[in-house]
């Protein structure tokens, strides 16, 4: 049975390349659906609902025309929950007069320099940064900000293109590698403990769902190697982090849906790294359900379409994901993940390296070799389950 029984015409959710969890959330709300598939991308899960096939990731104009032709009765809105989907859905909704985020919000989040300019000192001490369009500008900005510093693409994601610059010589080597493709941001290097903050916004009111502890490979690429949620911060730090996130979301104009804000908790308080108008990647949306019963997809669709929000389950658990690294000189054999999946608390296991291939170096998120996702009643039990799963997976490989 649907969690919410709409009165009057049944609202319609237009879903851009949805995961099966998004389709399930819409079904629980009792919504009518239109599934939008891009023929150049992996297929979304098969359903009995109408499907539109169009290259929406490149051009939303055809999608708008085809949605108009459907003449949808009753309330409707378009939803995309990835980096590109948030921008496309906002543009579609404005064009059709449907409710949702203003298109300016996802644009502000995607451009890291624009977001820093919008936030300024509203979220505490601004992070020193310079927008650069050429190698000489990067070198000059690094010298001005001071070493060590970090350089990253202004609109990148998944740690792609992020580099730690320790000194002028390393800057010269970075520029000589020819990786400066498009505008880059040079920022001061922040020292502290890094967290992500998972939020949910309804009509411009923001709620922190969880603080997520993360681990990375560190310098020079900072690729994320694990996440654990929720973690409890001291009351003073928690209040400061909440204030930073709220100010950031307000500055960007984010009104509906999930957000994922990365912060560094330094000796002088939290500092903003970056923020996104979408759920966190790396199965963070799954961990919100596993640990806390927070379904950000259902909450978003209900809020935008004017339905009662689905209640969070009373599920105070702890969830985590750990990325595995296989030996870099040995081909990965054909390996069954069934044994690892059968271990207590293990929810998902994935190997991303094809059998027989030698795994490559990890310089961005897409290079990681595999992962295990697990849940438990407390942190100690979770760490034990994840350690056992990682050992078993790498031993079998």
Q: Please tell me the distance from the alpha carbon of residue 101 to that of residue 63, in angstroms, as a whole number.
A: 18
- Mean of pLDDT values over 180-187: 88
Per-residue pLDDT band for 40 (boundaries 50, 70, 90) equals confident
Q: Please tell me the distance from the alpha carbon of residue 264 to that of residue 12, in angstroms, as a whole number.
A: 39
Residue 8: predicted pLDDT: 73
Question: Which CATH fold would you assign to the domain 128-188?
Answer: Dna Ligase; domain 1 (3.30.1490)
Q: At residue 261, does pLDDT exceed 70?
A: yes
- pTM summary value: 0.90
Per-residue pLDDT band for 293 (boundaries 50, 70, 90) equals very high
What stretches of the chain adopt beta strand conformation (E)? Answer: 12-16, 32-37, 51-53, 76-79, 129-132, 149-153, 163-165, 184-188, 193-202, 205-216, 224-229, 257-266, 269-276, 318-324, 346-351, 370-376
Q: At residue 101, does pLDDT exceed 50?
A: yes
Residue in 160, 235, 243 with CA at minimum distance from that of residue 199? 243
Residue 7: predicted pLDDT: 58
Residue 42: predicted pLDDT: 78
Q: At residue 1, does pLDDT exceed 70?
A: no
Q: Please tell me the distance from the alpha carbon of residue 143 to that of residue 188, in angstroms, as a whole number.
A: 11
By the 8 A CB rule, do 358 and 330 touch? yes
pLDDT per residue over 130-143, tens digit each?
A: 999 999 999 999 99
The two tokens of residue 43 are: 């297929």
Please report how many Cα atoms fall inside a 13 Å half-sphere around the Cα of residue 349, on the Cβ side: 23
Could you confirm whether domain 12-100 is CATH 3.40.50.20? Answer: yes
Domains 128-188 and 193-304 share a fold: no
Instruction: List the domain boundaries for the chain.
Output: 12-100, 128-188, 193-304, 318-396
Could you confirm whether domain 193-304 is CATH 3.30.1370.100? Answer: no
Could you confirm whether domain 318-396 is CATH 3.40.50? Answer: no
């Amino acid at each position: 049975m649907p969690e919410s029984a709409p009165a009057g015409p049944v609202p319609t959710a237009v879903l851009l390349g949805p995961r099966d969890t998004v389709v399930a959330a819409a079904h629980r709300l009792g919504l009518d659906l239109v599934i939008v598939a891009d023929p150049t991308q992996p297929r979304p899960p098969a359903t009995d609902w109408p499907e539109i096939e169009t290259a929406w990731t490149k051009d939303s104009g055809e999608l708008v025309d085809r949605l108009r032709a459907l003449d949808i009765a009753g309330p409707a809105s378009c939803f995309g929950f990835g980096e590109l989907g948030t921008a496309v859905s906002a543009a579609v909704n404005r064009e059709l007069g449907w409710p949702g985020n203003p298109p300016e919000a996802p644009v502000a989040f995607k451009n890291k320099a624009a977001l820093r300019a919008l936030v300024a000192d509203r979220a505490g001490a601004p992070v020193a940064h310079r927008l650069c369009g050429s190698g000489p500008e990067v070198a000059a900005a690094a010298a001005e900000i001071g070493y060590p510093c970090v350089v990253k693409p202004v609109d990148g994601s998944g740690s792609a293109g992020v580099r730690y610059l320790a000194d002028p010589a390393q800057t010269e080597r970075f520029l000589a590698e020819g990786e400066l493709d498009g505008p880059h941001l040079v920022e001061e290097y922040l020292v502290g403990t890094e967290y992500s903050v998972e939020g949910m916004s309804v009509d411009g009111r923001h709620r922190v769902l969880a603080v997520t502890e993360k681990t990375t490979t560190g310098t020079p690429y900072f690729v994320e190697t694990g996440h654990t949620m929720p973690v409890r911060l001291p009351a003073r730090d928690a209040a400061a982090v909440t204030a930073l996130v709220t100010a950031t979301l307000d500055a960007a104009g984010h009104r509906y849906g999930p957000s994922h804000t990365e912060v560094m908790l330094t000796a002088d308080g939290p500092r903003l790294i970056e923020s996104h108008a979408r759920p966190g990647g790396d199965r963070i949306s799954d961990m919100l359900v596993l640990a806390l019963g927070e379904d950000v997809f259902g909450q978003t669709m209900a809020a935008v379409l004017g339905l009662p929000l689905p209640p969070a389950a009373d599920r105070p658990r702890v969830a985590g994901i750990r990325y595995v690294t296989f030996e870099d000189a040995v081909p990965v054999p054909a390996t069954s993940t069934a044994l690892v999946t059968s271990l207590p608390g293990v929810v998902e296991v994935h190997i991303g390296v094809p059998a027989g291939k030698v795994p490559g170096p990890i310089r961005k998120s897409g290079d990681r070799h595999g992962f295990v996702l697990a849940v438990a009643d407390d942190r100690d039990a979770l760490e034990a389950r994840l350690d056992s799963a990682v050992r078993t997976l790498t031993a079998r490989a």
